[in-house]
Structure 1
Amino acid sequence: MSVEVTVDPGKIARTLRLRNGFVARRLAERTARTARIAEREAPGRMGSYITWKVQDGPGGLQGVIACDHPAVRYVLDGTRPHIIRPRRKGGVLRFEVGGRVVYSAYARHPGTRPNNFLARALIEGR
Structure 2
Amino acid sequence: MSVEMRVDPGAITRLLRLRNGRAGRKLAERTQRVARIAEREAPGSMGDYITWKVIDGPKGLEGVIVCDHPAVRYVLNGTRPHIIRPRRRKALRFEVGGRVVFAKLVHHPGTKPNNFLKRALREGR
Shorter-chain TM-score: which interval?
0.7 to 0.9
* 1:91 paired residue number: 90
Paired residue for 1:77?
77
TM (norm. structure 2) is 0.85
Measure, in 2, the Cα distance between the counterparts of 1:116 and 1:17. Answer: 35
> Does structure 2 conserve the Cα–Cα contact (< 8 Å) formed by 1:84 and 1:106?
yes
More helix by share: 2
Cα distance in 1 between the residues matched to 2:115 and 2:17: 31
Structure 2 matches for 1:6-45, cutoff 5 A? 14=14, 18-45=18-45
Distance 1:98 1:17, change over 3 A: same
- 1:115 partner SS: coil
The residue number in structure 2 matching 1:67 is: 67
Following the alignment from structure 1 to structure 2, what is the Cα–Cα distance between the partners of residues 57 and 15?
11
The DSSP-based 3-state class of the residue aligned with 1:23 is helix
User: Number of residue pairs matched?
Assistant: 115
Unaligned runs of 5+ in 1: 1-9
Cα distance in 2 between the residues matched to 1:79 and 1:15:
42
Question: Is the partner of 2:107 in helix, strand or coil?
Answer: strand
Residue 125 (structure 1) aligns with = 124
- State how far apart, in whole Å, the 1-side matches of 2:73 and 2:97 are: 29
- Where do 5+ consecutive residues of structure 2 fail to align? 1-9
The whole-number CA distance in structure 2 between the counterparts of 1:41 and 1:54 is 22
Structure 1 position 17, deviation (Å): 5.6
Q: Which has the larger radius of gyration?
A: 1
**Shift, 1:15, TM fit:** 6.1
